[in-house]
């Protein structure tokens, strides 16, 4: 049996078109067993997005799907990504993804790269 999951989605809280309940419902209809709500986040909206994702978990009791509260750190200055990802996890984010390739001149110092998520600087989501 194939189990579909999507660990990178957006709602109207960033550049998606649906509110979380609509997005989760459509995922259920299409056979998904898990979905992560990962709207674009920075220091200005991190708390609200994680809180919204956690609230959306009520849908798990109604439909056969796992809902993960997450964020996609977007256009966050490279040196701020690791501390913001840590803060997101402390606030309860179950998944943190990163969007945006920095120009080479803004890449993090080599000594910081081991602290960052695997392949963050070499592989990128295929969707914006």
DSSP-assigned letters across all residues of 18-55? S-HHHHHHHHHHTTEEEEEEEEEE-TTTHHHHHHHHHH
| Shortest reach from residue 61's CB to Zn ion, in Å | 27
> CB nearest Zn ion: which residue?
72
| Shortest reach from residue 97's CB to Zn ion, in Å | 7
| Shortest reach from residue 51's CB to Zn ion, in Å | 19
Using CB under 5 A, list all residues that contact Zn ion: 72
Nearer to Zn ion, 38 or 108 (CB): 38
Nearer to Zn ion, 105 or 123 (CB): 123
Buried b (16+ CB within 10 A) or exposed e, 74-99: bebebeebbebbebbeeeebbbbbbb
| Shortest reach from residue 16's CB to Zn ion, in Å | 9
Nearer to Zn ion, 72 or 94 (CB): 72
Cite the DSSP H helix spans in 1-128: 20-29, 46-55, 78-90, 110-113
């Amino acid at each position: 049996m194939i189990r579909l999951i999507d660990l990178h989605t957006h709602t109207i809280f960033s550049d998606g078109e649906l509110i979380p309940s609509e997005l989760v419902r459509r995922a259920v209809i299409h056979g998904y067993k898990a979905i992560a709500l990962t709207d674009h986040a920075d220091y200005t909206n991190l708390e609200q997005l994680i809180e919204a994702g956690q609230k959306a978990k009520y849908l798990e009791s109604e439909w056969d799907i796992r809902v993960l509260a997450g964020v996609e750190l977007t256009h966050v200055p490279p040196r701020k990504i690791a501390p913001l990802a840590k803060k997101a996890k402390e606030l309860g984010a179950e998944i943190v993804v990163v969007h945006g390739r920095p120009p080479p001149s803004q890449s993090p110092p080599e000594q910081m790269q081991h602290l960052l998520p695997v392949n963050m600087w070499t592989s990128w989501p295929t969707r914006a």
